[in-house]
């Protein structure tokens, strides 16, 4: 079986009115890719039986595996299970294992159990129950005309647990054969079109089975090579050859050859140097510390962040002088430098990065420092480097850009490229 395709159908009005962002589909797609199954389509429909039916009918025309998520909660707006009874023309039965688990969950959490909670143990007769260790709604595996339809809860960590423990091993056993390979090269400092121009001849001579995609994000362009087939050794060889050519050509702007966020890239360098880092943040408000502490094990190199959002705290905690603030405002090279050197001292770290700027209207903007102006400094034991940026977007995007540029600046400093 080497031509298996998958479709994802997410169910819930909240997706269609934009109240919730669908993070499940991306995660599921990555897991299926990992076992060689390409996702060809993702669909979101509302809590409407006819729409779920139409989408499932449509996808079963070309996909042998369809995963539904959502609509399995205990409340009246959750209609996936009634839909499944109708679609597979079966009645509901109580699954004893799930029933015992639901009761145990409520007892353990000391919460009173409602009749609707017990109904979570009802499943379509004949389905394979996919046990949910961390929630009350089990997943369900149903088959129809040689295709597999899987229904999972929409709560992300419940869905993830069932996928990892129950779905992926079964799917892999049933539909094995293909290998999908992706390689990602992360570049920083050049725009998408410049990168494309530099590698034009390599791109044009790539084997037909290899696709190259460009994924730009603030300050970064990711290049992704993708290929799929049955001969894993040959696929690996050809994609590695293409990757090597690209990395060699783009050497001066490559920051990583795996698809990991900037904070992981920086974390790896810090671990390899046995070095520590801290931040002094103003406009990023703690976001730099948040990003770095997303990385498990970051406690070995990240010591802390001094989020000095107000000028008074910049003075009292970091010793920024009132005279400098009055003469040059907080958005200045002098304040950025003082913030970084004081963070270095107070947090007792090898490197400190500071960020101070104005991300959206209504603060200290002026003709010299329009909205989007940000000063940053990186301090080591021997020297301090500073840089001024100007971002042109809204508050949230400007914050994201400032944080990415701060991490990139630290990476360049650590690698002698700043």
Alpha-carbon distance of 199 to 212, in angstroms, equals 11
327 scored as a contact of a copy of itself (CB under 8 A): no
Distance CA 72, CA 137 (A): 6
**Member of 168, 269, 346, 418 binding a copy of itself (CB under 8 A):** 346
Query: Distance between CA 66 and CA 60 in Å, rounded?
Result: 7
Binding to a copy of itself (CB under 8 A) within 103-132 occurs at: 111-112, 114, 116-117
Using rule CB under 8 A, residue 307 touches a copy of itself = yes
How many amino acids of this chain bind a copy of itself (CB under 8 A)? 110
Cβ–Cβ < 8 Å for 102, 70: no
229 near a copy of itself, rule: CB under 8 A: no
141 binding a copy of itself? (CB under 8 A): no
Among 4, 11, 22, 253, binds a copy of itself (CB under 8 A): 22
Task: Give the rounded distance of the alpha carbon of 352 from its chain centre.
Answer: 26
Interacting residues with a copy of itself between 63 and 102 (CB under 8 A): 73-77
Question: Least distance in Å: CB of 400 to a copy of itself?
Answer: 10
Q: How far is CA 84 from the centre of its chain?
A: 31
Using CB under 8 A, which residues numbered 247 to 286 contact a copy of itself?
Answer: 259, 278-279, 281, 283-286
In whole angstroms, how close is the CB of 311 to a copy of itself at the nearest point?
10
Query: With binding defined as CB under 8 A, does residue 44 bind a copy of itself?
Result: yes
Contact 179, 152 (CB under 8 A): no
241 scored as a contact of a copy of itself (CB under 8 A) = no
Residue in 405, 412, 408 with CA at minimum distance from that of residue 391: 405
Using CA atoms, how far apart are residues 141 and 8, in angstroms rounded to an integer? Answer: 14
| 146 near a copy of itself, rule: CB under 8 A | no
Is position 215 an interface residue for a copy of itself (rule: CB under 8 A)? Answer: yes
Sign of the C-alpha dihedral, residues 52, 53, 57, 63? positive
Smaller CB separation from a copy of itself, 140 or 228? 228
Cβ distance to a copy of itself smaller for residue 31 or 236: 31
**CB of 146 vs a copy of itself, minimal distance in Å:** 22
Q: Which is nearest to 319 in space by CA: 339, 333, 349, 337?
A: 339
CA distance 222 to 154: 30
Counting contacts by CB under 8 A, is residue 209 touching a copy of itself? no
The reply to whether 237 sits near a copy of itself by the rule CB under 8 A is no
| Cβ atoms 244, 255 nearer than 8 A | no
166 sits near a copy of itself (criterion: CB under 8 A):
no
């Amino acid at each position: 079986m080497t031509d298996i395709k998958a479709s994802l159908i997410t169910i819930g009005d909240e997706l269609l009115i934009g109240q919730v962002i669908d993070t499940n589909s991306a995660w599921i797609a990555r897991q299926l890719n990992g076992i060689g199954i390409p996702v060809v389509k993702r669909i979101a429909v509302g809590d409407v039986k006819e729409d779920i039916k139409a989408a499932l009918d449509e996808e079963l025309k070309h996909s042998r595996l369809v995963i539904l998520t959502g609509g399995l909660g205990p409340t009246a707006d959750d209609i996936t299970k009634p839909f499944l009874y109708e679609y597979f023309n079966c009645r509901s039965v109580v699954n004893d294992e799930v029933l015992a688990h639901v009761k145990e969950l409520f007892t353990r959490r000391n919460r009173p159990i409602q009749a609707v909670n017990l109904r979570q143990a009802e499943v379509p007769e004949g389905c394979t129950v996919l046990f949910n260790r961390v929630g009350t709604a089990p997943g369900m595996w149903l088959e129809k005309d040689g295709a597999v339809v899987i229904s999972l809860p929409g709560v992300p960590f419940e869905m993830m647990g069932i996928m990892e423990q129950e779905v992926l091993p079964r799917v892999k056993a049933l539909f094995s054969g293909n290998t999908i390979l992706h390689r990602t090269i992360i570049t920083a400092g050049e725009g998408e079109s410049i990168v494309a121009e530099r590698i034009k001849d390599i791109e044009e001579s790539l084997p037909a089975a290899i696709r190259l995609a460009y994924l730009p994000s603030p300050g970064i362009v990711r290049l992704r090579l993708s290929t799929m087939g049955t001969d894993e050794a040959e696929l690996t060889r050809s994609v590695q050859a293409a990757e090597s050519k690209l990395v060699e050509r783009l050497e001066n702007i490559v920051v990583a050859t795996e698809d990991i966020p900037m904070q992981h890239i920086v974390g790896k360098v810090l671990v390899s140097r046995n070095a520590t880092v801290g931040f002094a943040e103003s406009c990023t408000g703690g976001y730099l510390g948040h990003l770095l502490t997303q990385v498990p094990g970051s406690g070995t190199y990240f010591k802390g962040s001094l989020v000095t959002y107000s000028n008074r705290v910049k003075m009292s905690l970091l010793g920024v002088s009132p005279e400098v603030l009055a003469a040059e405002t907080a958005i200045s090279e002098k304040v950025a430098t003082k913030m970084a050197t004081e963070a270095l001292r107070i947090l007792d770290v090898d490197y400190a990065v500071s960020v101070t700027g104005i991300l959206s209207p209504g603060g200290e903007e002026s003709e010299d420092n329009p909205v989007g102006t940000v000063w940053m400094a990186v301090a080591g034991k021997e020297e301090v480097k500073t840089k001024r940026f100007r971002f042109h977007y809204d508050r949230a995007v400007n914050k994201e850009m400032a944080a990415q540029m701060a991490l990139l600046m630290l990476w360049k400093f650590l690698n002698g490229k700043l």
